[in-house]
Amino acid sequence: MSENVYIIGAGIHPFGRTQERSGREQGVYAVRQALEDAGLEWADIECAYGGSAAAGNADIMVNELGLTALPFVNVANGCATGGSAIASAQQAVASGMYDLALAVGFDKHPRGAFNAQPADYGLPEWYGETGMMLTTQFFALKIQRYMQLHGISRTTLGRVAEKAFRNGAKAPHAWRRSPIDLETIMNAPMINDPLTKFMFCSPAEGGVALILASEKKARELGALGDGKSVKIAKVAFKTRPPDSFEVFQAGISIKEGGKPTVLAARAAFEGAGIGPEDIDVAQLQDTESGAEIMHMAENGFCKDGDQEEWLANGWSEVDGKLPINTDGGCLACGEPIGASGLRQVYENVEQLRGRAGERQVSGRDGDGPKTAYSHVYGAPGISAVAIMER
């Protein structure tokens, strides 16, 4: 029987651009903040899992944090790197092998779009020559198809972005902290039809660290109850099934297949013993506005096409029936690949602890949220879901 696992410490380095710190230094900053939050020393941590796409290997952090001989595993799974790190740390503690584990991610991307290479994903050069390695094109084509199939309007895409920037203005760790009105979003320069520049996230910088503990250790440290810790009800991680269509894939099946997000969501809900209707706050992968819309359905929170009604009625706002991306998501925070998935979990920890300030979700009974949901999606078709409870 696996151990219950709790998040007892959380730290974040603000996202955006920080010229004076390297990506690794931003990760170290987050780790030290998480240690302070948990009332621990670096020497107390028994194992670590971390990732970065553009700022060096995470295990090099021990040069600054201290040489304690702990096992430190580097994680690399595209935009799902953070989800993979927390899944690995959770499994390490749940197995009973360790009592204290660290999940950490950081990055420092250069300006401009991500520069993925076809060969890195087993693709021929022609795939890159068509421009499909530029993810803005892929996601634009994907949401174009989805809009045609399910009656989603461009205005709904704009409303997702408008909500993101409004929420980001209330999150101290967000990069974009100024609200942007719908008209400005809709009339901004078109990047890839139907998505304007304010409908895309940008590569960025930042770091996040989470400290996980067994129930025994959390109790020993006095970290259970009173908003001090958050229980991880279930973590699920899936890769793409047959006949799915994912980023960095050179063809699409003529028949509709499964989706990694659908599989991860189903496994997470089954493992936690709850359903989508039981979630009080959710953070969903929003590489661009269309991704949030599609992922609302793929994670089971609504039916395909219902997003039009959701956004028009404000149901995914901080004060709506299911607040989504309460810190502005990737659109407002940017997407430092190593840190992004862990930022979602950090935001949910803040919400469940009642420490989210102006963006705090009230919950069903006005006593704050009791359940929270994090979802990441990365190339070439990887999805991780974490469900947490207080």
Read off the pLDDT of residues 30-64 as tens digits, 9 standing for 90 and up. 999 999 999 999 999 999 999 999 899 999 999 99
Across the chain, mean pLDDT equals 94
| Strand ranges inside 26-124, DSSP E | 47-51, 72-74, 100-108
Q: What is the pLDDT of residue 252?
A: 77
Structure tokens at 116: 């993925």
Interval 326-350 mean pLDDT:
96
From the list 287, 319, 280, the residue with the least C-alpha distance to 301 is: 280
Place domain 5-111+204-230 in its CATH homologous superfamily: Thiolase/Chalcone synthase (3.40.47.10)
For residue 353, is pLDDT > 60? yes
Helices 337-353 and 23-38: crossing angle in degrees, nearest 10, is 20
Interval 308-332 mean pLDDT:
97
Q: How many CB atoms lie within 10 A of CB 185?
A: 22
225 pLDDT band, cuts 50/70/90, is confident
Tell me the domain boundaries of the chain: 5-111+204-230, 119-202+232-389
132 pLDDT band, cuts 50/70/90, is confident
- Give 143-202 pLDDT, tens digit per residue: 999 999 999 999 999 999 999 999 999 999 999 999 999 999 999 999 999 999 999 999
For residue 1, is pLDDT > 70? no
Q: What is the pLDDT of residue 365?
A: 87
**For 219-225, which contacts have Cβ atoms below 8 Å and span 24 or more sequence positions?**
221/8, 221/38, 221/39, 221/40, 223/6, 223/8, 223/38, 224/6
Helix (H) or strand (E) holding 97: none
| Strand ranges inside 194-348, DSSP E | 195-196, 205-214, 230-239, 281-283
113 pLDDT band, cuts 50/70/90, is confident
Q: How many CB atoms lie within 10 A of CB 384?
A: 30
Interval 105-123 mean pLDDT:
85
For residue 114, is pLDDT > 80? no
For residue 321, is pLDDT > 90? yes
Residue 175 and residue 168 in contact, taking contact as beta carbons nearer than 8 Å: yes
For residue 378, is pLDDT > 90? no
Q: What is the pLDDT of residue 116?
A: 81
Q: How many CB atoms lie within 10 A of CB 200?
A: 24
Higher pLDDT, 246 or 11: 11
For residue 5, is pLDDT > 60? yes
Tokens 């950490």 correspond to 104
For residue 243, is pLDDT > 80? yes
Indicate the SS3 state at residue 299.
coil
- What amino acid occupies position 252? I
Tokens 């992968």 correspond to 285
Interval 306-316 mean pLDDT:
98
Structure tokens at 52: 């970065």
Tokens 């240690």 correspond to 35
| Euclidean distance between CA atoms 378 and 303, whole angstroms | 22
Higher pLDDT, 245 or 192: 192
Q: Which fold has domain 119-202+232-389?
A: Peroxisomal Thiolase; Chain A, domain 1 (3.40.47)
